[in-house]
Structure 1
């Protein structure tokens, strides 16, 4: 058992409650940067998205106008609560309540503002209060308290730095005083600033890359201590507790760029490593950073003995980024069941990943205890793939909620929307679709040659190209005609992209001025004076790579 740091007085959280004018949000149109086009309506009257779905399944737009919606929860009275992260800047987040109106529309109401990167959100079944996870804390509040909700700090002083600062959490199914919290890794594969890869990974000693168990105790129901119940988990943004067996299931967001130290895997980097679904057993180690998949040593740790690490219950496709999941009620449950029998008792998972296997909603077959491995995931929704001249992907689900009426709700952060997924038997049998392998995009010989050359480069801008531009920018700025802001940033084109960022534009100066940390590009990436790009901003480490290049004088790639 470890002691948390001394309590911070709740009043110092610098969080302010407030309500926006309801009329300002009712029926708000899709934001101008949305890639969505509504085609008709669902049976519930919501605008229908033109996506490929299981027969009879309809994806409706319930609410718009968010900045970066992440977590979602529902109160017993039906109110929906959304944690809007706002972006990667400090204190940009907000908490919303979405109420269903008499006319069938959904009205968003802003409850809290100036929250630092809220991600996890849940309703505790014991006290009925809303719990919110920020990188450093978990707090709770009564949404009905007037004139403004009073915030109570429940968990504090969690690590909030590095590659994975966001927190997701769930309550134990049998004891709602227990909170299981994701504490992600600081790094990708425990790489150090000096390039070393120590064994054992020092992050284990500070309880990173695992799941913590906090127990709320005493009359004030706060958690002053924690136990690490599982280690070797890089980033556990998807957590679910089975309603009957009470097993804790984890969705692993596995490592990136496996080909950096294993060039022989360059052609498999889109497929490896697989993401994972893990049954959490207290005291077990799940292999990060030493091993991946079913006990394969990572290229950085080729001599690792993987036999002592817990194996995944199911391997998911590579880089799908499971960020939310929940069990659908089974046939014996008293909860409402809108979807047909094939869904009942299964696991519903949101794939957020931008790569070819991602941006889908899937159904994972499980056994009576909720353990995966009874079959491969099936697609409920797909079709967020690239459209000509538009971004790729055009949408990406984040968190999943099975609502009181049996509908499936999703937060979707690329278009800043809240989606309600419903089923109408008149439209078909609802049978999920066999997963469709990603279409291989045609790559020009020029692009293939650029990408091959880029793999061998290590100068500052080539790193920016590989880690930042190719992963975050080309999905919008790499698909013409009509490049956003008339800025083309092409895949693997380190030479051309550096030149475009440094040259004056037709009606403005350059995006980057060497050694100027007030350059427009950096301000746009932070959302200072401009709409933030990409949506939600960069991760802290990605931003630092760009900033370091600018500070160094923006040298041309070699």
Structure 2
């Protein structure tokens, strides 16, 4: 404007008018550019916890939340209530406060942590202000339930307590009813001390008489000790057996008393045995009346085969044994316990022993059922009385929510073989329920959430844990790895098309394997990792990394490398800090440290710390090129394809492997190798290449 005034002080009217209109044109041009830039910026989807957030909502009013792109059953949608931006760390369960539109969330903090929290969630509050801390510094909070007295009960690794989440000082209302449950640090019957039991989390349910059923998970995956195994698994025996469901019976009034410091714990009975980890428990409302269902979802032992063993849906009866660690599937004997199964009380346990109760139905293998409940609510009449099961597993058979039709007593309805289930992103999209003996009968199910595999730029892989039904009938769930709270509501219109699978291609795995094979130092690093880490500490889980007897050393190296490259998010070449291989080996973040017991290895095993460094070096130097860092400045730097399509944004300080410092086909840009998936928006392909302006890159110091 000062410039316009200066011009208009001149004596020429024509000059003044020309200047005036020139300024208008200039201002309009600037305004148009700003509008254009704003439009471009607004066209880039917002992402929270890895989910692309658009303009659509799920729900209505102040219970309408941003709709997230997961593949739902027609008529349903999912809204994102809370994310990592709300400072969630590792949420594991959720329940509504009776009579209030408020929820309590158990945030475990992470494996190996003691900073768990119980949080109060107000979904009607403004975004960013929905949580209030109720209790902090809790070790492994997990189970939440409403007791027969309508009070809220919660569990740690060793205790069960009740409290008032609406009190001014919730901690002052805590009343512990059970103590000294087997937790993280235990001593086995043979005197062996474990600093981290494999399954310390406590899930629990009340029946309508106020009796309390508590999961006491197994201390290990399979209870295998050095061969030959001639004795029963000691941890599963006796009056305080692990891998069991314990029963606590309240006083005649039906409510457990609050324990004072010197009070003894209430007595318990081992209600059922041979259950590796009972985090999914559901009682029919009429239980314990005769014939009504008490169901358990069993997380089976780890085997290398992606389709073995099946998970189990068990009908729990008092005094029965459900097989672990001696049996899996319907009647398959664990070969490690062959001698134990030849005599004594466990003779022929899996095939001809009245003590054993086979699974009511098999479930998808490696699905990891972590939540189960009967739906009762007005919002979804088509679900009334049906059984919902959340599968948390990271394999192609996990990451979904199942719906079972049930009979009048709450049991799913089996169908004769073949019964097929969906397998995500597989060459054969379905697989039949089967054991070593062939196809078997099973209870079929629908999928409330079917497609929850990772899709770059759209969503992460689903990780559902706790599920609850609100008083209005909406379904709420939490994801631990993605740090979310999600609300499922009624959707209007047709369901969106399922999103495609977007995993690392076989061609890209071939290319990366070839890079390693051509680099002498990386070949040595790979062999070192395979011998010192995988074969020494990791066999028995993760499908044995695909290793088989009779392979040569070179074949073993290639097999291990290809297995790691095919896993979702384990390795991002050139950027070890972004991959799960590094975070899990070092115990960073919320997920479990790997291998189990790895926290001691740097001190007890010479050279182990160097192995972890070797893993980082293998990833950092996997791709030929120059590692460069994104220059500091704006918090994000955009990168593009050869055709100038925007491919995503990277934070300042991120490292990429530059393959062409001066790109031959894009002047002023550098070309770099495919980076970590979280920064890709899904709009580009590897064939297009990835480019960033040269001035945004600086050498790695």
- Tell me the TM-score normalized by structure 2: 0.59
Match 1:165 to one of 200, 219, 233: 200
Change (3 A) 1:475 1:129: farther
- Counterparts of 1:265-276 in structure 2 under 5 Å? 269-276=305-312
Mapped to 2, the partners of 1:398 and 1:299 lie a distance apart of: 32
Partner SS for 2:598:
helix
Q: Aligned-pair distance for 1:390?
A: 9.5
Q: Is residue 407 of structure 2 the alignment partner of residue 367 of structure 1?
A: yes
Which residue is equivalent to 1:250?
Answer: 296
Match 1:414 to one of 478, 481, 501: 481
Q: Is residue 334 of structure 2 the alignment partner of residue 293 of structure 1?
A: no
Mapped to 1, the partners of 2:179 and 2:46 lie a distance apart of: 35
Structure 1's unaligned 5+ residue stretches are: 1-29, 260-268, 330-335, 490-500, 502-519
Which residue is equivalent to 1:96?
Answer: 119
Mapped to 2, the partners of 1:395 and 1:215 lie a distance apart of: 37
Match 1:115 to one of 134, 138, 148: 138
Change (3 A) 1:236 1:310: same
- Which piece of structure 1 moves more, 441-450 or 272-281? 441-450
- Counterparts of 1:390-409 in structure 2 under 5 Å? 394-409=461-476
Q: Aligned-pair distance for 1:101?
A: 2.4
Mapped to 1, the partners of 2:249 and 2:569 lie a distance apart of: 47
Mapped to 2, the partners of 1:457 and 1:197 lie a distance apart of: 28
- Is the 8 Å Cα contact of residues 245 and 370 (structure 1) preserved in structure 2? no
Mapped to 2, the partners of 1:280 and 1:418 lie a distance apart of: 31
- Is the 8 Å Cα contact of residues 317 and 357 (structure 1) preserved in structure 2? yes
- Is the 8 Å Cα contact of residues 364 and 397 (structure 2) preserved in structure 1? yes
Q: Aligned-pair distance for 1:102?
A: 7.1
- Counterparts of 1:51-450 in structure 2 under 5 Å? 51-64=70-83, 65=86, 66-77=88-99, 78-101=101-124, 107-126=130-149, 128-150=150-172, 151-161=174-184, 162-172=197-207, 174-176=208-210, 178-192=211-225, 194=226, 197-205=229-237, 206-217=240-251, 220=257, 224-246=266-288, 247-257=293-303, 259=304, 269-302=305-338, 304=341, 305=348, 306=350, 307-308=352-353, 309-329=356-376, 336-341=377-382, 343-374=383-414, 375-388=443-456, 394-424=461-491, 426-427=492-493, 442=506, 444=509
More helix per residue: 1 or 2?
2
Q: Aligned-pair distance for 1:403?
A: 1.3
- Is the 8 Å Cα contact of residues 549 and 555 (structure 1) preserved in structure 2? no
Q: Aligned-pair distance for 1:460?
A: 3.9
Q: Which has the higher contact order (CA 8 A, sep 6+)?
A: 1
Change (3 A) 1:463 1:553: closer
Change (3 A) 1:197 1:544: farther
State the superposition RMSD in angstroms.
Answer: 3.8
Q: Aligned-pair distance for 1:203?
A: 1.3
Q: Aligned-pair distance for 1:543?
A: 3.1
- Which piece of structure 1 moves more, 350-359 or 303-312? 303-312
Q: Aligned-pair distance for 1:302?
A: 4.0
Mapped to 2, the partners of 1:67 and 1:350 lie a distance apart of: 20
Mapped to 2, the partners of 1:552 and 1:170 lie a distance apart of: 46
Q: Aligned-pair distance for 1:122?
A: 1.1
- Which piece of structure 1 moves more, 270-279 or 372-381? 372-381
- Which piece of structure 1 moves more, 480-489 or 229-238? 480-489
Mapped to 2, the partners of 1:298 and 1:446 lie a distance apart of: 39
Which residue is equivalent to 1:541?
Answer: 596
Aligned length: 461
Match 1:462 to one of 535, 556, 566: 535
Mapped to 2, the partners of 1:104 and 1:554 lie a distance apart of: 43
- Which piece of structure 1 moves more, 536-545 or 373-382? 536-545
Change (3 A) 1:482 1:460: closer
Mapped to 2, the partners of 1:388 and 1:481 lie a distance apart of: 17
Mapped to 2, the partners of 1:109 and 1:464 lie a distance apart of: 41
Which residue is equivalent to 2:68?
Answer: 49
- Is the 8 Å Cα contact of residues 571 and 579 (structure 2) preserved in structure 1? no
Q: Aligned-pair distance for 1:344?
A: 1.7
Change (3 A) 1:149 1:299: same
Partner SS for 2:67:
strand
Partner SS for 1:59:
strand
